[in-house]
Amino acid sequence: MIKVWGRKTSSNVQVVLWCLAELGLEFDRVDAGIHYGVVNTPEYLAMNPNATVPTIIDGDNPPMWESAAINRYLARQYASAPFWPADPVEQAHVDQWAEWAKLNFGLNFSVPVFWKVVRTAKSKQDPEAIASAVVKLNGIAQIADRQLASHQYLTGNNFTVADVMFGHLLYRYYTIDIERTGLPNIARYYEDLQTRPAYREHVMVNYDELRAGD
């Protein structure tokens, strides 16, 4: 049995839980992070010196952290093509989009946009900085939108780990109060993701506990 430490409202936990569920893997989850605590205990720090979530332990293996590395491990260990192709060239194609999702879209969304809109008190928000971060993000999103114009999923016509890495960010992208225009193919893709039971359960999670208030 795989054990996962991390609160359900952490996007980095969600990406792992969604991956586990898509692969049909059972797991036990322990709440950890922000007001749930745990992450600063000596026991947790011995598993994950970053004091962040998620951390997983699979059976007798050592603890693992970093959500993208965890999902690559899960894919290598438990998945096959097309979710995680065996051929190195096909694998790199999936992996480049997984990496793109985390580094290009994710880094330009989570802190400069989501954090500033949801996790910053209204009185402390900087509307101009948010607006310019959204313009930058939507420019990056155009790259995925163009790809999705001719493909059902990010890497082609099959659902892969790259879709987990990108798609988990879209629930928050589409449910916060920001400008979203000219991304018709991502909108279609997001509609499609919402039909997946594992997406609904692990990604479409209320994040009110993160709100900073006024």
Ligand X SMILES: N[C@@H](CCC(=O)N[C@@H](CS)C(=O)NCC(=O)O)C(=O)O
Shortest reach from residue 21's CB to ligand X, in Å: 17
- Nearest CA to 178 out of 123, 129, 145 is that of 129
Tell me the window of 49-57, 137-145, 181-189, 194-202 that interacts with ligand X (CB under 6 A).
49-57
55 interacts with ligand X by CB under 6 A: no
- Residue with Cβ nearer ligand X (70 or 94): 70
Q: Which of 2, 4, 53, 130 binds ligand X (CB under 6 A)?
A: 53
Tell me the window of 8-16, 72-80, 84-92, 117-125 that interacts with ligand X (CB under 6 A).
8-16
Q: Which of 4, 5, 8, 12 binds ligand X (CB under 6 A)?
A: 12
Q: Cβ contacts of residue 157 below 8 Å, gap of 6+?
A: 151
CA distance 199 to 14: 9
Q: Which of 4, 8, 44, 52 binds ligand X (CB under 6 A)?
A: 52
11 interacts with ligand X by CB under 6 A: yes
134 interacts with ligand X by CB under 6 A: no
**DSSP string of 47-69?**
H-TT--S-EEEETTSPPEE-HHH
The residues with which 90 forms a beta bridge, in sequence order, are none
- Residue with Cβ nearer ligand X (68 or 98): 68
Tell me the window of 63-71, 83-91, 127-135, 138-146 that interacts with ligand X (CB under 6 A).
63-71
- Say which DSSP state 129 is in: H
Hey, is 87 helix, strand or coil? coil
Q: Which of 34, 131, 143, 149 binds ligand X (CB under 6 A)?
A: 34
108 interacts with ligand X by CB under 6 A: no
Are the beta carbons of 70 and 64 closer than 8 angstroms? yes
Tell me the window of 6-14, 117-125, 175-183, 198-206 that interacts with ligand X (CB under 6 A).
6-14
- Nearest CA to 14 out of 53, 64, 61, 69 is that of 53
Q: How many residues interact with ligand X (rule CB under 6 A)?
A: 12
Hey, is 38 helix, strand or coil? coil
- Residue 8 Cα distances to 36, 56, 95, 129, 135, angstroms: 11, 14, 25, 28, 29
> Applying CB under 6 A, which residues contact ligand X?
10-12, 33-34, 39, 52-54, 66-68
